[in-house]
């Protein structure tokens, strides 16, 4: 890797690269093309050579496979032990990581270890000056002033535009579904390099003994369609209608904090500031008033449809389409029409 390159840290599950990784590569391609620098990807794990084929046609220049049996399951200790010397040797300028549970755990620890800037949950990147590198090596301010990052603040009620300065690499986590995956296969083939790494097992402070899957099918953050219910669903019976609608549309069911607090849905289904952050193609809010805490979890959805009997409910201000009506009259009609 040449100094100044953009680096994407890959996330993979069950032998497949995640959508968040492909979105990070898409964001990395935009930045590297504008700044005329390289784009590299690092994959950590054990027996991971097959993963390179999933990302080899995305327009990247280098794929680095860091292998060690202690990287089979994610722990921040093992990943930091493997990444820190790699990054210090190769000196990337910006490190992009999907803003998932793992990414949000790894990124701030990595930035602290490197003593560099950290930006979380970035939803937009703008490169103002499409110029080549101003200098060589990591240095200070190679891209200073050229890159603007957008991220939500105050529970998603505002978007802030920020820039980094000083020592590199900057560590950035990217909000799910905020960036497009690489649109078309690239003609160039990346250079693939396997890098075995020695990790002292005594350095690992946590050991994963077992993994149990608690949710079938797509999760909230992976679904293209999310149908969420709030206090207006009045109970678990109301959520059965949402499950039927989700089954027809191929979506998943979410819930507001009020519905979770009432015991109608588990916390794993909660969308909002203290729950999951989702950015589906379609978000249908049923009986949800639209409190800021809930909007913080779904404000970046591509299309929002709100159904609420209160025409003055705040959710309508965040919606692309709204239906002011009784949820128990609207949903049965919608379900029947979709069945046809």
Question: pLDDT digit string (tens) for 274-328?
Answer: 888 888 999 999 999 999 889 888 888 999 999 999 999 999 999 999 999 999 9
Please indicate, yes or no, if residue 211 is contained in any of the structural domains: no
| pLDDT per residue as tens digits for the range 201-254 | 888 888 888 877 766 667 888 889 999 999 999 999 999 999 999 999 999 999
pLDDT of residue 3: 62
CATH number assigned to the domain comprising residue 113 = 3.40.50.620
User: Does residue 241 sit within a domain?
Assistant: yes
> Does the pLDDT of residue 143 top 70, yes or no?
no
Indicate whether 51 and 82 sit together in one domain: yes
One domain, residues 196 and 230 = no
How far is C-alpha 321 from the chain's CA centre? 25
Residue 135: what pLDDT? Answer: 44
Distance CA 259, CA 34 (A): 45
Based on the fold, state whether residues 31 and 112 are members of the same structural domain: yes
For residue 242, the domain's CATH number is 3.40.50.1220
Long-range contacts of 182-189 (CB under 8 A, 24+ apart): 182/22, 182/25, 182/26, 182/29, 182/58, 182/59, 183/26, 185/57, 185/58, 186/57, 186/58, 186/59, 186/60, 188/59, 188/61, 189/56
Both 56 and 126 in a single domain? yes
Average of per-residue pLDDT values in the chain: 88
Model pLDDT, residue 129: 62
Strand partners, 94: 6, 170
pLDDT digits (tens, 9 = 90+) for 98-141: 998 899 999 999 999 999 999 999 999 999 864 444 444 444 45
Using the Cα atoms of residue 221, residue 110, residue 65 and residue 180 in order, give the sign of their dihedral: positive
Using a 10 angstrom Cβ sphere, with 0-12 exposed, 13-18 middle and 19 or more buried, the burial of residue 157 is exposed
Considering the domain boundaries, does residue 184 fall inside one? Answer: yes
257 and 141 in a common domain: no
Give a yes or no: residue 213 inside a domain: no
Q: Is residue 209 part of a domain?
A: no
The fraction of the chain above a pLDDT of 90, given in percent, is 61
The number of distinct structural domains making up the chain is 2
- At 106, list the tokens: 């790894």
- Boundary of a domain, candidates 203, 232, 263: 203
Tens of pLDDT, residue by residue over 25-39, are: 999 999 999 888 999
Rounded to two decimals, what is the model's pTM? 0.81
Mean pLDDT score, 78-104 = 94
Residue 212: inside a domain, yes or no?
no
Q: Which domain, by its residues, includes 36?
A: 6-203
In a domain, 1, yes or no: no
Do residues 133 and 176 both lie within one domain? yes
Q: Which of 143, 176, 203 is the last residue of a domain?
A: 203
Specify the pLDDT at position 202: 85
Predicted local confidence at residue 186, as pLDDT = 62
Task: Please tell me the distance from the alpha carbon of residue 255 to that of residue 107, in angstroms, as a whole number.
Answer: 28
Domain final residue pick, 203, 231, 264: 203
Shared domain check, 242 and 197: no
Q: Quick one: how far is CA 242 from the chain centroid?
A: 25
- Dist CA 66 CA 72 (whole Å): 11
Q: Let me know whether 274 and 198 are in one domain.
A: no
Q: What pLDDT, on the 0 to 100 scale, is given for residue 141?
A: 53
**237 and 118 part of one domain:** no
Predicted confidence band at 152 (pLDDT cuts at 50, 70, 90)?
A: confident
Asked whether residue 186 falls in the same domain as residue 239, the answer is: no
In a shared domain, residues 31 and 132: yes
Q: Are residues 231 and 141 in the same domain?
A: no
Torsion sign, CA atoms 97, 101, 106, 111: positive
Q: What is the DSSP string of 11-42?
A: -EETTEE-HHHHHHHHHHHHHHHHHT--EEEE
In a domain, 55, yes or no: yes
- Which pair of structure tokens corresponds to residue 251? 């979506």
């Amino acid at each position: 890797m040449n100094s100044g390159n953009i680096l994407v840290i890959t996330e993979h599950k069950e032998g497949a690269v995640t959508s968040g990784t492909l979105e990070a590569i898409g964001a990395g391609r935009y930045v590297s093309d504008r700044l005329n620098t390289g784009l590299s990807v690092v994959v950590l794990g054990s027996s991971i050579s097959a993963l390179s084929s999933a990302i080899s046609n995305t327009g990247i220049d280098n794929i680095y496979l860091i292998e060690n049996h202690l990287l089979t399951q994610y722990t921040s200790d093992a990943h930091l032990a493997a990444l820190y010397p790699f990054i210090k040797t190769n000196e990337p300028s910006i490190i992009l990581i999907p803003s998932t549970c793992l990414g949000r755990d790894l990124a701030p620890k990595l930035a602290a270890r490197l003593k560099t800037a950290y930006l979380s949950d970035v939803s937009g990147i703008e490169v103002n000056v499409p110029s080549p590198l101003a200098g060589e090596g990591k240095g200070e301010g190679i891209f200073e002033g050229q890159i603007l990052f957008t991220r939500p603040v105050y529970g998603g009620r505002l978007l802030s535009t920020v820039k980094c300065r000083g020592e590199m690499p900057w560590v950035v986590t990217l909000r799910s579904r905020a960036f497009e995956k690489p649109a078309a296969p690239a003609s160039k083939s990346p250079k693939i390099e396997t890098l075995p790494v020695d990790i002292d097992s005594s350095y690992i402070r946590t050991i994963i003994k077992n993994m149990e899957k608690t949710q079938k099918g797509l999760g909230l953050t992976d679904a293209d369609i999310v149908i969420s219910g709030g206090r207006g669903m009045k109970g678990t019976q109301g959520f059965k209608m949402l499950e039927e609608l989700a089954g027809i549309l191929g979506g998943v069911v979410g819930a507001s904090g009020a519905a979770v607090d009432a015991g109608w849905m588990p916390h794993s289904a909660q969308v909002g500031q203290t729950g999951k952050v989702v950015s589906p193609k379609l978000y249908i809010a049923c009986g949800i008033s639209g409190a800021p805490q809930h909007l913080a979890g779904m404000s970046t959805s591509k299309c929002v449809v709100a159904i609420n009997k209160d025409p003055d409910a705040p959710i309508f201000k965040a919606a692309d389409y709204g239906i002011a009506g009784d949820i128990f009259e609207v949903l049965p009609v919608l379900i029947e029409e979709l069945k046809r």
